[in-house]
Structure 1
Amino acid sequence: MNMIPASKAMANASAVADKAGKKDNYTRIGEMAEEFGVTLRALRFYEDKGLIQPKREGITRLYTYRDKARLKLILLGRRVGFSLRDIKQIIDLYDPAGTNMRQYKVVLEKSQRQLARLEKQRAAIADAIAELTRLTADMRAQMEARATAAKR
């Protein structure tokens, strides 16, 4: 899957959402899953959580540009570690007729918080890597010393 910068994804998703309802171009669930690299189960799960709301014709789910924009935001949010609750809050703040400043502020706040969490995790991982590097070096040295002692 292509990794596009989060800021560009957010802007693109908003632009796509602005076009929602202007075209009767629907995508079926299988096509949607393939296009975004997700499972049918994931799409149904996001629907159950109220994150996307495809149109229904009988048992067929039909996804609009708006649903595609929402799914882009869902996948971006998951990729950066946001909870589904956070993602829903962000999506629900979108107002096609407004400036969306409130939405942007929430995204900024949540992004800063998540960035701080990830930086802490990165530091903890760096510490663990350093510790394991020392441990493996010590174990190799001990094994070498014992092998040398056994040869005598």
Structure 2
Amino acid sequence: MSVTETTERSKRDRTYSITELCREFDVTPRTLRFYEQKGLLHPARRGWTRLFSYRDRARLQLILRGKKVGFALEEIKEMLDLYNLRDGQLTQLRIASTKMRERLEALRKQRVELEDAIGDLERTVVVVDGMLKEREAAQPKAANS
């Protein structure tokens, strides 16, 4: 076995405590327990201690990426669970590709809608600020009358 293979194997055999993963990914222990409850992570147990595997760590990284772009936990779980099929990940990759393309399109649509809303709000701010300026300019005159 080469040094690279040995290093890779030791990485894969490594376990992580809940504290280590929380620190590395800036999540709370409650978050990890929630993902475990939802079947997204499968830590081993040593008494009360959870030991997360290299695979759990990789799954957590994918969960957080998926959430960041707006996937629901159910969608993330569906994509992750397809990894267990023995088809060389073809099904997982096909479904992930389809879901990612759909999400990308939804995000693009949201971006257009958000840009429209920002434009509307910017125009409204100009109008309201103009009205405010007029009222403030007229106020001292009304007070002196």
Q: Which residue of 2 aligns with 1:50?
A: 39
**Relative contact order (alpha carbons < 8 A, sep ≥ 6): 1 or 2 greater?**
1
Q: Which residue of 2 aligns with 1:103?
A: 92
Contact 1:90 1:106 in 2 (8 A): yes
Change (3 A) 1:147 1:25: closer
Contact 1:21 1:65 in 2 (8 A): no
* AA matched with 1:44: R
Q: Which residue of 1 aligns with 2:3?
A: none
Q: Which residue of 1 aligns with 2:14?
A: 25
Q: If you compute each CA radius of gyration, which structure gives the higher value, 1 or 2? A: 2
TM-score by length of 2: 0.82
Report the CA distance between 1:20 and its aligned residue. Answer: 8.0
Matched, 1:76 2:55: no
Deviation per residue, 1:90-115 (Å, 9 max, x gap): 11111486421211111111111111
* C-alpha separation in 2, matches of 1:37 and 1:127: 33
Matched, 1:118 2:107: yes
TM-score by length of 1: 0.78
Contact 2:43 2:56 in 1 (8 A): yes
Structure 2, unaligned stretches of length 5 or more?
1-7
* C-alpha separation in 2, matches of 1:121 and 1:129: 12
Report the CA distance between 1:29 and its aligned residue. Answer: 1.1
Contact 2:13 2:54 in 1 (8 A): no
* AA matched with 1:83: A
* C-alpha separation in 2, matches of 1:71 and 1:147: 55
Change (3 A) 1:73 1:20: farther
Report the CA distance between 1:146 and its aligned residue. Answer: 3.2
Structure 1, unaligned stretches of length 5 or more?
1-18
Aligned length: 134
Deviation per residue, 1:19-73 (Å, 9 max, x gap): 7898532111111211111110000001001111011111110111111111111
* AA matched with 1:67: D
TM superposition outliers: structure 1 runs of 4+ over 2 Å: 19-24, 95-99, 143-152
For the residue of structure 2 that corresponds to 1:62, the secondary structure is strand
| Percent of paired sites with the same residue | 42
For the residue of structure 2 that corresponds to 1:51, the secondary structure is coil
Change (3 A) 1:20 1:121: farther
Deviation per residue, 1:114-139 (Å, 9 max, x gap): 11211121111111111111111111
Change (3 A) 1:21 1:63: farther
